[in-house]
């Protein structure tokens, strides 16, 4: 397993765990923030640019589809971020963003989204810190 895989898994994993914990603790604030975000085209543009840049960085530096599951999951997260960034850049109208948001049923499945984020983050974090032992061997 490469050092880049381990680094990205730690970064994405810890980020996911921390965001999921924040989602669980601050449900109303998070729903309010996302609701306001989709109504503000400049904020959507910024979120799209950040997601696109993050996704491109991961895909260009770590497009690994073979080997351990950890490496493939990191690659999938990169591609999903890239697609999310493109979607946000292409859907800059508040009406389209609100339709997308409504289709996700964000408020209805809020804890499912938080739980998935927590599980993915925990998997990546555990896998990355466990892999450090393999790299040292």
Residue-wise pLDDT for 5-31, tens only, equals 999 999 999 999 999 999 999 999 999
Averaged pLDDT of the chain: 92
Total domains in the chain come to: 1
- Top pLDDT among 1 and 135 is at 1
* CB neighbourhood size of 54 (10 A): 17
DSSP symbol at 61: H
The mean pLDDT value for 36-49 works out to 89
| 49 vs 104: which has the higher pLDDT | 49
User: Of 16, 15, 36, which is closest to residue 118 (Cα–Cα)?
Assistant: 16
Furthest-apart CA atoms within the chain: distance in Å: 54
pLDDT surpassing 80 at residue 66: yes
What is the per-residue pLDDT for 134?
Answer: 65
Residue 119 domain boundaries: 3-136
- Calculate mean pLDDT across residues 109-118: 96
Query: What is the model's pLDDT at position 38?
Result: 84
127 pLDDT band, cuts 50/70/90, is very high
**pLDDT (average), residues 110-114:** 96
Q: What is the CA radius of gyration of the chain?
A: 16
Residue 97: the pLDDT is 79
**137 pLDDT above the threshold of 60:** no
């Amino acid at each position: 397993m490469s050092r880049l895989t381990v680094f990205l898994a730690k970064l994405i994993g810890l980020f996911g765990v921390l965001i999921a914990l924040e989602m669980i603790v601050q449900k109303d604030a998070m729903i309010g923030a996302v609701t306001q975000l989709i109504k503000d085209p400049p904020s959507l543009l910024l979120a799209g640019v950040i997601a696109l840049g993050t996704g491109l960085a991961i895909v260009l530096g770590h497009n690994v589809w073979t080997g351990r599951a950890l490496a493939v999951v990191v690659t999938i997260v990169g591609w999903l971020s890239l697609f999310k960034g493109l979607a946000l850049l292409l859907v800059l109208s508040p009406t389209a963003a609100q339709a997308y948001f409504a289709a996700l049923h964000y408020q209805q499945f809020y804890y499912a989204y938080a739980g998935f984020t927590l599980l993915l983050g925990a998997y990546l974090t555990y896998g990355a810190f466990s892999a450090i032992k393999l790299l040292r061997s």
